[in-house]
Chain A
Amino acid sequence: MNQRVGTDSSPLRFAACESASIPLFATFIGARRRAPPARTHRQIGSQLVGRRILAAMGGLDSSSMETDLDRPNIEEYLTTETIREVPKKLHLSDLLDISPTLTEAAGAIVDDSFTRCFKSNSPEPWNWNIYLFPLWCLGVVVRYGILFPASFSWLVSLSNLISCMFCRVGVLALGWIVFFAAFLPVHFLIRGHDKWRRKIERKLVEMMCSVFVASWTGVIKYHGPRPSRRPQQVFVANHTSMIDFIILEQMTAFAVIMQKHPGWVGFIQKTILESVGCIWFNRTESKDREVVATKIREHTQGVDNNPLLIFPEGTCVNNHYTVMFKKGAFELGCAVCPVAIKYNKIFVDAFWNSKKQSFTTHLAQLMTSWAVVCDVWYLEPQYIRPGEIPIEFAERVRDMISVRAGLKKVPWDGYLKYFRPSPKLTERKQQIFAESVLKRLEEK
């Protein structure tokens, strides 16, 4: 909540976003879209109450709504002028004047902070003049014709395969062959010595991820101490695309929580990732949350398991913003190690807009671009502080990751991509308005 959202050309819009994070009160205060009371309530309200609002905002399920903590303390959010104001007698104009509500709706139509998080930024065309354009054409030829040969010539003969060694698909294909040649025997034959088998499988998965990264000419800089294998810790990272996992896996074999995917990705999930100890979930199943929570807890307690990697945003975001973190990873009572990932947009936009393209298309797009350049920062492990609730802990870690990777924070739940906001939020607004009307009715 501390980080100002946005240094764009129109700071008022993003300041309005801050007040949009408290839309409950805008109706009552009659806030103009252009002049939000954001600063005033930051002075009055404590951070704690701010977290409660965010909790109320972010919660989609009833359990997080029922607790007392989520009921915001309205006095803390009134501006000083409104507090001193004695409720005036109710007139017809007050009931007819729906302009604050309409303004909020129109403001949301014109620009809203949630949709901004999922906008793929189309690269600006730089090939627009007479000498750059032929260079760009040459680049296309190199990227599509040499780096990514479409022909499956590797199928033909081994000599061709070797000649394609410098080509990306060739590298990838060779990598898969080597991987499966080693993985399958190890997985099925070495039954007795589990510890050895696990170790070899881990190394193979790491190798395969390195092959993937090489196939997109990935230039990845890792900063900070490498993750160590010990129990009672989870890793959390911001999420831009499924390749986040591959990039991190290259360095350390993590166990990860993933949404079940169909197609070839699902096949890989079932066969290979099973060996590193992954946990599956299904967004659309409502009871899934408790099941997954139990599995996570068991995993972190096991000594032999790979360190667990969780993406608390729950969905891919476009690497300019972070959406609210789900508290599941933060209420396990163990250390939380944040990891920040930031892609360099100059080379390729690594955001996987899952509504616009399939993962295969996304991978193909990555393989036909020049390079994937990104920075990975392993940050200091965090522990929950005494008196801190998991949601605040999650926000604190989100702060750290956003600051490190230069991302702006947005107070929305990532799952709003798939589901509608809870009607309880609308009800809260209705309640405030109704109470104000009834109160003013008493005044004579």
Chain B
Amino acid sequence: MGNASSMLTQYDIEEVQEHCNYLFSQQEIVALYNRFCQLDRTAKGFISSDEFLSIPEFSLNPLSQRLLKMVDGLNFKDFVAFLSAFSPQATPQQKVELIFKVYDVDGKGRVTFKDLLEVLRDLTGSFMSEEQREKVLGQVLEEAGYSRESSLYLEDFMKVLSKAGLKMEVEVPVD
């Protein structure tokens, strides 16, 4: 399923559905395929960074660069797998996993103070100084029982975010 042909067969749809753990219905997968083909203007089989950035709403998202590292060059199967964390059927664990991956963008398996700083920098831009950011992070980490030197693992993220009640859902428009 590497190339974006204009027709999806039933086998293709089922393969993609399996890959995303059945978090999307078949109709939603077809709708996502139409969207994928629309974004992938030159029919390469994947969406380039430039094409993602041509969506104005995505482009002005503060975390767009970080997300681009994760979605750039994905084929359709992996594209759907990425979006599956936003399905209403996704479990909180799957959502936290995605958030963890966004922080740990280089895939080392743990999130360091540096990673936390980077994300906070993306979110606040020039409206907080570096010292303020370090102070804030240091303070909340201490209060939660961690230190600046400690690395956070997926379990820590699960523990901290399970109380938050994550609202992370996207509706796929099905015509």
Give which listed residue, B61, B95, B144, contacts A105 with CB less than 8 A.
Answer: B61
Report whether A95 and B55 are in contact in the complex, using a CB–CB cutoff of 8 Å. Answer: no
Report whether A425 and B60 are in contact in the complex, using a CB–CB cutoff of 8 Å. Answer: yes
Report whether B61 and A104 are in contact in the complex, using a CB–CB cutoff of 8 Å. Answer: yes
Report whether B170 and A101 are in contact in the complex, using a CB–CB cutoff of 8 Å. Answer: no
Give 5 CB contacts A-B under 8 Å: A13-B171, A95-B136, A98-B99, A101-B63, A105-B58
Q: Bound state CA distance, A258 and B132, in angstroms?
A: 51
Which A residues are in CB contact (< 8 Å) with B160?
92-93, 96
Q: Bound state CA distance, A23 and B103, in angstroms?
A: 22
Residue A427 at the chain B interface, CB threshold 8 Å: yes
Rounded to whole Å, the gap between the CB of A408 and the closest CB of chain B is: 14
Report if A110-B60 is in contact (Cβ < 8 Å); known contacts: A99-B95, A434-B128.
Answer: no
Which B residues are in CB contact (< 8 Å) with A105?
58, 61, 63-64, 67
Stretch with Cβ within 8 A of B (4 or more), from A4-12, A141-149, A284-292, A372-380 = A4-12
**Which partner residue on chain B sits nearest A32 by CB separation?**
B167
Report whether A106 and B83 are in contact in the complex, using a CB–CB cutoff of 8 Å. Answer: yes
For A24-48 the 0/1 string (1 means CB < 8 A from B) is 0001001011100000000000000
Residue A416 at the chain B interface, CB threshold 8 Å: yes
Report whether B60 and A421 are in contact in the complex, using a CB–CB cutoff of 8 Å. Answer: yes
In residues 61-88 of chain A, which contact B (Cβ within 8 Å)?
none
In residues 94-144 of chain A, which contact B (Cβ within 8 Å)?
94-115, 119
Residue A430 at the chain B interface, CB threshold 8 Å: yes
**Which partner residue on chain B sits nearest A417 by CB separation?**
B54
Q: Bound state CA distance, A93 and B160, in angstroms?
A: 6
From DSSP, what is the main secondary structure of chain A's interface residues? helix
Q: Bound state CA distance, A438 and B135, in angstroms?
A: 11
Q: Bound state CA distance, A12 and B174, in angstroms?
A: 12
Give which listed residue, A99, A420, A430, contacts B168 with CB less than 8 A.
Answer: A99
Which B residues are in CB contact (< 8 Å) with A114?
55-57
> In the complex, which of the residues A9, A32, A95 has the most CB atoms of chain B within 10 Å of its own CB atom?
A95
For B129-165 the 0/1 string (1 means CB < 8 A from A) is 0001000110111011010000000000100110110
Give which listed residue, A10, A12, A98, A437, contacts B136 with CB less than 8 A.
Answer: A437
Which A residues are in CB contact (< 8 Å) with B141?
92
Which B residues are in CB contact (< 8 Å) with A108?
55, 57-58, 61
Rounded to whole Å, the gap between the CB of B115 and the closest CB of chain A is: 11
Rounded to whole Å, the gap between the CB of A277 and the closest CB of chain B is: 35
Q: Bound state CA distance, A435 and B123, in angstroms?
A: 11
**Which partner residue on chain B sits nearest A119 by CB separation?**
B38
Residue B124 at the chain A interface, CB threshold 8 Å: yes
Residue B32 at the chain A interface, CB threshold 8 Å: yes
Report if A103-B124 is in contact (Cβ < 8 Å); known contacts: A93-B163, A109-B55, A426-B62.
Answer: no
Rounded to whole Å, the gap between the CB of B12 and the closest CB of chain A is: 19
Give which listed residue, B54, B144, B170, contacts A33 with CB less than 8 A.
Answer: B170
Which A residues are in CB contact (< 8 Å) with B171?
10, 12-13, 16, 33-34, 110
Report whether A99 and B166 are in contact in the complex, using a CB–CB cutoff of 8 Å. Answer: yes
The 6 closest A-B pairs by CB, nearest first: A430-B125, A434-B127, A108-B57, A434-B124, A92-B144, A108-B58
Residue A370 at the chain B interface, CB threshold 8 Å: no
Q: Bound state CA distance, A433 and B160, in angstroms?
A: 20
**Which partner residue on chain A sits nearest B145 by CB separation?**
A92
Residue B172 at the chain A interface, CB threshold 8 Å: yes
Which A residues are in CB contact (< 8 Å) with B41?
355
Which B residues are in CB contact (< 8 Å) with A8?
173, 175
Residue A193 at the chain B interface, CB threshold 8 Å: no
Interface size on B, residues (CB 8 A): 60
Report whether A112 and B123 are in contact in the complex, using a CB–CB cutoff of 8 Å. Answer: no
Report whether A96 and B99 are in contact in the complex, using a CB–CB cutoff of 8 Å. Answer: yes
Which B residues are in CB contact (< 8 Å) with A434?
123-125, 127-128
Give which listed residue, A93, A95, A423, contacts B120 with CB less than 8 A.
Answer: A95
Rounded to whole Å, the gap between the CB of A439 and the closest CB of chain B is: 12
Residue A53 at the chain B interface, CB threshold 8 Å: no
Which B residues are in CB contact (< 8 Å) with A96?
99, 103, 116, 157, 160-161, 164
> In the complex, which of the residues B124, B132, B174 has the most CB atoms of chain A within 10 Å of its own CB atom?
B124
Residue A162 at the chain B interface, CB threshold 8 Å: no
Residue B169 at the chain A interface, CB threshold 8 Å: yes
> In the complex, which of the residues A416, A423, A434 has the most CB atoms of chain B within 10 Å of its own CB atom?
A434
Report whether A92 and B143 are in contact in the complex, using a CB–CB cutoff of 8 Å. Answer: yes
Report whether A90 and B123 are in contact in the complex, using a CB–CB cutoff of 8 Å. Answer: no
Q: Bound state CA distance, A355 and B50, in angstroms?
A: 15
Residue B4 at the chain A interface, CB threshold 8 Å: no
Which A residues are in CB contact (< 8 Å) with B175?
8-9
**Which partner residue on chain A sits nearest B132 by CB separation?**
A438
Report whether A430 and B123 are in contact in the complex, using a CB–CB cutoff of 8 Å. Answer: yes
Q: Bound state CA distance, A429 and B126, in angstroms?
A: 11
Q: Bound state CA distance, A54 and B91, in angstroms?
A: 37
Give which listed residue, A33, A109, A430, contacts B62 with CB less than 8 A.
Answer: A430
Rounded to whole Å, the gap between the CB of A316 and the closest CB of chain B is: 16
Report whether A431 and B127 are in contact in the complex, using a CB–CB cutoff of 8 Å. Answer: yes
Which B residues are in CB contact (< 8 Å) with A90?
136, 139-140
Report whether A91 and B169 are in contact in the complex, using a CB–CB cutoff of 8 Å. Answer: no
Report whether A427 and B136 are in contact in the complex, using a CB–CB cutoff of 8 Å. Answer: no
Report whether A107 and B166 are in contact in the complex, using a CB–CB cutoff of 8 Å. Answer: no
